[in-house]
Structure 1
Amino acid sequence: MPFPSKLNSAEHLMVLPVPMRVVDAGGQRKILFEQQACNGLDRWCDSFESLYVAAPVLDEATVASRKAMSWADVETIPSIRKIEMIPLPMANSMRAHYRHVGDVRTTLRALIDRSKYLHFGAGGMWGGWAGIAAEEAMRAGRKYAVHFDYVEHQVVRLNARNKSFLRRVKSLWTARSMERWLKPIIEQASLVLCHGSDTYEYYKRMNRHARLIHNIHTTAADQVTSEQVAAKVASVRDVSRPIRVAYAGRIATEKAPIDWSRALGHAIKSRGANIRATWLGDGPLRSEFERTLVAEGIRDRVETPGFTSDRAALLNAVREADLFVFTHVTPESPRCLIEALISATPIVGYESHYPAELIATHQGGRLTPMSDWESLGDTIADLANDRARVADLIPRARRDGDRFTSEAVIRERSELIKEFLSEDLMESKKAISQRDHREHRGKKATKLSST
């Protein structure tokens, strides 16, 4: 397994679930990383002198099936001289996990010993190397931060509903095992970073050092200007055109696309709202989603262009929408809601802690009871039939989005990590020395017992 060769040590170790690619480029190894994550690494370097970034390597056969990911050469990151990428094996099954876990532990232990601040982005259970890193940090007596974008085991449990009986049983067992495995990791963490209020509300009861943060990659340049807001307000007052509705995300269970189509069907067919809608994205429920649009009688009102890797085109589509309608049904914190707010597009959808916190200050949206698609449809229709209310929501949404830039949110996380993880380096070295001494004694005892 590759070992650090560029940096002898790093101020900040990040073990991430975001995969990398290692490709051959004319006989030389080239590392590709998710495009938005590359911007994130550059921002982390604003606060830390050097980074180790350990992440699993995606095989090229899988890359072809993951069209929703956009890749960039890490050498294009402006601060790449301060970053060393550490490839880890991908292990999406129990068998692969146990085949690689020993070597991965060895690598992660070495990285932990060479790093000052430890930061682990939790993912799944099999191949969840962030969790393994946390176990090694605990064993070394080191402070660490763990990061959650959503409540993983609850998402796994929800997605199990659409599977066959045996697959459902397997998924439910995995969800329960994951919950039990992560519990001590969360409880022993010096800092738990929770993206969005839904995630925070779940994990704060497990660790008093849980903190609400937002994990986004949009920059200040992505936010619409006051002139664009004024033009959008003027445009929405034009009653000769339909209200434009948009959503951007996977057509998957946790997004409840069937609820989304039924809500729009109710608004258009039962309430007579003049609406044109677009769902940008693809996913496993696409066929069922499109059949529901037909059944609702609104197929001609909804465009489903699929996934686009063009980030600028995606943001432009969100900016052009008058309402961003969502039907999220799991405790996750999709970044698309923040992208809508910075685009001055009011968010309208199911209520939960996350969207409620996003618009708490300026009320740049409307929220309805969870899983009540008829109530959501009524709210959409009420707004579509009252352009003045939409015009009022647009600048409110923009003001709610003011605080969200990658520069600001990563600076905030960096400050939290330094506050909660700072420790006397002599104490850290003493803990490592004590651990090595215990392991040496253990090996010596094992050797004596075998003679």
Structure 2
Amino acid sequence: MSQTDDSLLLGISAPIFRDAAGRLFIESQTISGLKAWRENFARVTAFSICHDAPPPAGWADAAAEGIAAPEIAIVPLPDTYDLKTLLRQRRTLSGQMLQLMRETQYHTFAYGGWIGDPGEIAASVARRHGIPHAVWFDRVESQVVRAESGKSLPARLKSALRAAIFTRNENRAVRSADLSLLHGATVFRHFSKIARNPHQVEDVHFTDGDRVDADVIAAKANAAAEGPLRILYCGRAAAMKGPLDWIRVLVGLKAQGVDFEAHWLGEGEMLAEMRAAAAEGGLTETELRFEGFVSDPARVRDFYRRAHLLLFCHLSDESPRNLIESLHSATPLVGYRDPYSAELTGEQGAGLLVPRGDTDALVASLAALDADRPRLSELIRRAGASAAHLTRDEVFRHRSDIIRSQLNQPHR
């Protein structure tokens, strides 16, 4: 491998699926990311765990989407989260990782942190052989484990043990990596004090063409003067997203007599519990609709653009793309404060934030906003002016420039 090869070895977090005909299926936004990386590097080699099973909704045929060697080579890995598979194949897999690193110039790995995580295996190989590498975090996995803990004592003890393992591995990764790519201000603040070389980056798959224009912003702001308050969340129904807090806020709004239409886009393990909480709180289908997984990007954009605001109740340190996507659609942010949400809203004042976990404060903020429609219209205009620099092309170019500047050194 020549040092002028300008190739990237990329560990991705979303699993690959292989059907009975041997076709590989990759998550649609991961495909978008692979193409963006290829626009910045001469060639890309990406690896992830592969399941021999029909793909779920949201995964697309990689070859049909133009993902093919040599420009973008995909390396399917065995399911190393399975302990027996890990013990049986770790040595072979480590050798394979080493060979891939020797065949590429730059190396960056999405990092999960659990035993058998491919990013952890790759980072371990790089550490042992003195190979410059980067690790990528868009959330603090140890906090996610705690947020998703069950209520029983055995469940809490199990989560505490898992969180301790995640914490140890996360900290070791950022202390040892030549570069830590940390998505968003919240994740950056969490790791920056212990990381060897931390850099804050962003992640979004919306392009300039996905942004609403000035005419749409003006029409949306004017239309917000009347009618039900239109509330949206787009993401997984998982504990870290605070879905029961989200329902609790809607129930509180109804108790105050606020007229609203809310939509939750996304599947997840807590969807049934959300439905039960909504029914118990007396929410009707007119007030709340669960849309499930929406695969059509154009339809997702339409939901963002129609909404008056994105309501979010994130309970762990993460940097979800939906906040940036919302701003691209002139939809202000109302939710729990953390460095990431504060930085995004602080740019133009495009939102209202309350302390994490304070659902009463969220209810009060939303009720006040419903009663003050000129203020809502102003927030919509401010959202439309926000995050103009955070587009797919810009954030991937920024990340690529950092990788080159920080990892451009000979292998040892």
| TM-score in same-fold range (> 0.5) | yes
Q: Paired residue for 1:220, among 204, 208, 211?
A: 208
Q: Which residues in structure 2 correspond to 1:126-275 (within 5 Å)?
A: 126-162=115-151, 165-237=153-225, 239=226, 241-270=227-256, 272-275=257-260
Deviation at 1:395, TM superposition (A): 1.7
Match of 1:125 in 2: 114
Residue-by-residue CA offset, 1:214-258 (whole Å, 9 max, x unaligned):
122122211111111111112112x2x211111111222111111
* Residue identity matched to 1:190: D
Q: Paired residue for 1:296, among 281, 305, 311?
A: 281
Match of 1:415 in 2: 401
Match of 2:90 in 1: 101
Deviation at 1:203, TM superposition (A): 0.6
User: Are the equivalent residues in 2 in contact too, given 1:104–1:129 (CA < 8 A)?
Assistant: no
Name which of structure 1's ranges 101-110 and 89-98 shifts more when overlaid on structure 2.
89-98
User: Are the equivalent residues in 2 in contact too, given 1:325–1:347 (CA < 8 A)?
Assistant: yes
* Number of residue pairs the alignment of both structures matches: 407
Deviation at 1:165, TM superposition (A): 4.4
Deviation at 1:81, TM superposition (A): 4.2
Task: Pick the structure with greater CA Rg.
Answer: 1
**Aligned equivalents of 2:125 and 2:231: distance in 1?**
48
Residue-by-residue CA offset, 1:73-95 (whole Å, 9 max, x unaligned):
24523786411111111233333
Deviation at 1:274, TM superposition (A): 1.8
Three-state SS of the structure 1 residue aligned to 2:76 is strand
Residue-by-residue CA offset, 1:280-325 (whole Å, 9 max, x unaligned):
1222222221222223222341111222222211121111001111
Q: Paired residue for 1:21, among 4, 12, 17?
A: 17
Match of 1:38 in 2: 31
**Aligned equivalents of 2:295 and 2:182: distance in 1?**
27
Match of 1:439 in 2: none
Q: Which residues in structure 2 correspond to 1:303-382 (within 5 Å)?
A: 303-382=289-368
**Aligned equivalents of 1:274 and 1:223: distance in 2?**
28
Query: Cα distance 1:329–1:320, how it changes in 2: closer, same or farther (>3 A)?
Result: same
Three-state SS of the structure 1 residue aligned to 2:261 is strand
* Residue identity matched to 1:289: M
* Residue identity matched to 2:11: V
**Aligned equivalents of 1:70 and 1:392: distance in 2?**
38
Structure 2 gaps, min length 5: none
**Aligned equivalents of 1:126 and 1:383: distance in 2?**
46
* Residue identity matched to 1:90: D
Match of 2:271 in 1: 286
* Residue identity matched to 1:84: A
**Aligned equivalents of 2:98 and 2:70: distance in 1?**
23
User: Are the equivalent residues in 2 in contact too, given 1:33–1:74 (CA < 8 A)?
Assistant: no
Deviation at 1:413, TM superposition (A): 0.2
User: Are the equivalent residues in 2 in contact too, given 1:192–1:209 (CA < 8 A)?
Assistant: yes
**Aligned equivalents of 1:227 and 1:329: distance in 2?**
36
Identity in percent: 31
Match of 1:51 in 2: 44
**Aligned equivalents of 1:233 and 1:80: distance in 2?**
47
**Aligned equivalents of 1:22 and 1:161: distance in 2?**
33
User: Are the equivalent residues in 1 in contact too, given 2:232–2:310 (CA < 8 A)?
Assistant: yes
Deviation at 1:18, TM superposition (A): 1.7
User: Are the equivalent residues in 1 in contact too, given 2:311–2:334 (CA < 8 A)?
Assistant: yes
Structure 1 gaps, min length 5: 1-8, 432-451
Name which of structure 1's ranges 306-315 and 411-420 shifts more when overlaid on structure 2.
306-315
Residue-by-residue CA offset, 1:20-75 (whole Å, 9 max, x unaligned):
122344xxx422211111111111112111111111102316x4xx54x3324245
Three-state SS of the structure 2 residue aligned to 1:355 is helix
* Residue identity matched to 2:205: H
Query: Cα distance 1:84–1:343, how it changes in 2: closer, same or farther (>3 A)?
Result: same
User: Are the equivalent residues in 1 in contact too, given 2:16–2:51 (CA < 8 A)?
Assistant: yes
Query: Cα distance 1:88–1:10, how it changes in 2: closer, same or farther (>3 A)?
Result: farther
User: Are the equivalent residues in 2 in contact too, given 1:196–1:212 (CA < 8 A)?
Assistant: yes
User: Are the equivalent residues in 2 in contact too, given 1:193–1:212 (CA < 8 A)?
Assistant: yes
More helix by share: 1
Three-state SS of the structure 2 residue aligned to 1:400 is coil
**Aligned equivalents of 1:232 and 1:315: distance in 2?**
14
Match of 1:116 in 2: 105
* Residue identity matched to 2:94: R
**Aligned equivalents of 1:159 and 1:265: distance in 2?**
23
User: Are the equivalent residues in 2 in contact too, given 1:42–1:79 (CA < 8 A)?
Assistant: no
Query: Cα distance 1:218–1:363, how it changes in 2: closer, same or farther (>3 A)?
Result: same
**Aligned equivalents of 1:273 and 1:196: distance in 2?**
33
User: Are the equivalent residues in 2 in contact too, given 1:51–1:84 (CA < 8 A)?
Assistant: yes
Query: Cα distance 1:295–1:36, how it changes in 2: closer, same or farther (>3 A)?
Result: same
User: Are the equivalent residues in 2 in contact too, given 1:20–1:55 (CA < 8 A)?
Assistant: yes
1:83 aligns with 2:100: no
**Aligned equivalents of 2:221 and 2:311: distance in 1?**
18
Aligned-pair Cα RMSD in Å: 1.9
**Aligned equivalents of 1:212 and 1:10: distance in 2?**
23
**Aligned equivalents of 1:144 and 1:223: distance in 2?**
34
User: Are the equivalent residues in 2 in contact too, given 1:268–1:381 (CA < 8 A)?
Assistant: no
Query: Cα distance 1:137–1:317, how it changes in 2: closer, same or farther (>3 A)?
Result: same
Three-state SS of the structure 2 residue aligned to 1:127 is coil
* Residue identity matched to 1:159: E
Residue-by-residue CA offset, 1:141-160 (whole Å, 9 max, x unaligned):
12111100100111012212
Query: Cα distance 1:405–1:111, how it changes in 2: closer, same or farther (>3 A)?
Result: same
